Structure 1
């Protein structure tokens, strides 16, 4: 979908982007990251020609962006920025509809698209359609900004540090929302950040830049386990590398069959086994506490795992609730397996599909 060939940008004879070449396939989530001044935002802005390139070539789905009329190019590319850029005198619905209105879509089509995107970003149209930007929280405004960027169904979405101005809790929620939206829409996304944890959480491909040059372009797992040099190793950070690895591995890759106890009472539970209710949901577990191997533990909603949960989050729940295993449940809450400390510790052996 996007190909950069020897992309270069010079100011006063100095290269701020120096001969970058990379390819991002259709539907991938690419992250540009690096220290301040490394050229990541400049690279992003050259893709939609907000900044003209000094050299090299940018292809969008095979088309050279330099040959496209700028209006046509920007209709094919959505753009979301840190400050959202919402028009303060327009309500949420009109802000989202900005580009479709410029394209002269029929009103009914615009209304349907606005409602569709508001639902996608968990913004109730009945509550938010008529609100103005000053009436929104930072997270809500950012959702509206991304929805506006997607309104005309562009081929590519560019995002320039979109979550950098929100608090850590809101940022984590927005990251989860962005992963969900990416999975549901299949859009090709190019995302700029300075936060390695954010990059590892979101990306299918990461481009690490330094002083205008591309140092390494890889999938997140490969970036961590096979860093190109000491700069990459130091930028990723070694102190919590194990936890970073766990953030890119999923419960479904390590879950095993749960052992059920054929009993209806807590008192008769023994050894290691699960007690389930009449709907197949886990209710208690024997022999799994870190501090008491004989204890019977009632299942709490807070430490239930799902197949799509990261192993980092699963491990965190095990440690916090002091249990050796977690129940893995489906969308209906039915027990479908378990995941435990033993699985976490066995992660030196890469399971099939871990490098995803």
Structure 2
């Protein structure tokens, strides 16, 4: 979908992007990351020609972006930024509809697309369509900004630190929303961040830059387990490398059959609908009750990260978690021994 070939940007004698070549496949979620001044935002802005490149080529599909009319190019590429940039005197609906209006879509199609996007971002159309930006929270405004960037169904969505200005709790919610939206739409995304945890959570591939050069472009798991050079492992951070690795592992990868036999060191009790109600055994220390009632906040789901599952084990002082399906039925378990017994 996007290919950079020897991309270079200089300002006078200073090179801020140096000979970067990488390929973003259709439907991928690629993240550009690196220290401040490494050239990640500059690279992003060259893709949709907000700033001109000095050398190299950028291909959108098989077309050189420098040969496309700028207006046509930007209709094919959505763009969401940290400051959002909503028009304050326009309603949410008008803000989302900017590009469809420029493309002269029929009014009914525009209204339908606005409502579709509000629903996609879990914003009730009846409540939010006619609101103004000053009536939105930071998280709501950021959702509207991303919805606007997606309004004309662009081939590529560029995002420049879009969640950097919100509080940590809202940021986590927005990250989860972005993952869900990407899974539903399949839009090709190139996302700039300085937060490695955010990159590991969202990316299918990560491009790590340093001083304008591309150090490594790989799947997150490869950056964690096979860094190309010491800068990669230093930037990722060695102190919590194991937890970062578990943030890219999923419960379903560790899931095993639930233990139901009362003769085992631990076993589950379920109700008539198959919901887990009690864990007997499975407590790693003798100073806590041997049995514990199952509550929603220490169950696991197949799509949960193992980092979150491990956190719940530690918090609730259990060596095993029940894995439940969408209906809350017990479908398996994950254990501390299973985590420790698997190779990185």
TM-score range, shorter chain: over 0.9
Q: Which of these residues, 305, 322, 329, is aligned with residue 327 of structure 1?
A: 322
CA offset at residue 13 of structure 1?
Answer: 2.7
Q: Which of these residues, 262, 270, 287, is aligned with residue 276 of structure 1?
A: 270
Aligned to 1:347: 342
Tell me the SS of whatever aligns to 2:46. helix
Tell me the SS of whatever aligns to 1:26. coil
Across the two proteins, how many residue pairs are aligned to each other? Answer: 343
- How far apart, in 1, do the equivalents of 2:134 and 2:81 lie? 17
TM-score (norm 1): 0.94
Q: Which of these residues, 272, 281, 284, is aligned with residue 287 of structure 1?
A: 281
- How far apart, in 1, do the equivalents of 2:80 and 2:73 lie? 15
Aligned to 2:234: 234
Q: Which of these residues, 311, 323, 328, is aligned with residue 316 of structure 1?
A: 311
Aligned to 1:265: none
CA offset at residue 103 of structure 1?
Answer: 0.6
- How far apart, in 2, do the equivalents of 1:222 and 1:167 lie? 30
For residues 126-170 of structure 1, what are the alpha-carbon distances to aligned partners after superposition, in whole Å with 9 as ceiling and x for unaligned?
111111111111110000000000000000000000000001111
CA offset at residue 290 of structure 1?
Answer: 2.2
| Contact kept in structure 2, 1:261 and 1:275, CA below 8 Å | no
TM-score (norm 2): 0.98
1:302 aligns with 2:292: no
Tell me the SS of whatever aligns to 1:153. coil
- How far apart, in 2, do the equivalents of 1:59 and 1:346 lie? 45
CA offset at residue 294 of structure 1?
Answer: 7.0
Counting only pairs closer than 5 Å after superposition, residues 29-108 of structure 1 correspond to structure 2 as 29-108=29-108
CA offset at residue 15 of structure 1?
Answer: 1.1
Aligned to 2:153: 153
- How far apart, in 1, do the equivalents of 2:295 and 2:319 lie? 14
| Contact kept in structure 2, 1:270 and 1:286, CA below 8 Å | no
CA RMSD of aligned residues (A): 1.3
Aligned to 2:244: 244
Q: 4+ residue stretches of structure 1 with deviation over 4 A?
A: none
Identify which range, 269-278 or 50-59, moves more after superposition: 269-278
Aligned to 1:165: 165
Identify which range, 1-10 or 294-303, moves more after superposition: 294-303
Aligned to 1:196: 196
For structure 2, list consecutive stretches of 5 or more residues without a partner in the other structure.
none
| Contact kept in structure 2, 1:307 and 1:329, CA below 8 Å | yes
| Structure 1 pair 79–150 and aligned structure 2 pair: CA distance change class (3 A) | same
Aligned to 1:219: 219
Identify which range, 157-166 or 124-133, moves more after superposition: 124-133
CA offset at residue 271 of structure 1?
Answer: 4.1
- How far apart, in 1, do the equivalents of 2:126 and 2:198 lie? 32
- How far apart, in 2, do the equivalents of 1:259 and 1:226 lie? 36
- How far apart, in 1, do the equivalents of 2:233 and 2:158 lie? 27
- How far apart, in 1, do the equivalents of 2:342 and 2:173 lie? 27
- How far apart, in 1, do the equivalents of 2:77 and 2:214 lie? 23
Tell me the SS of whatever aligns to 2:50. coil
Tell me the SS of whatever aligns to 2:45. helix
- How far apart, in 2, do the equivalents of 1:198 and 1:26 lie? 21
| Contact kept in structure 2, 1:221 and 1:248, CA below 8 Å | yes
For residues 87-120 of structure 1, what are the alpha-carbon distances to aligned partners after superposition, in whole Å with 9 as ceiling and x for unaligned?
0001111111111011110111011101110011
1:113 aligns with 2:108: no
CA offset at residue 261 of structure 1?
Answer: 4.9
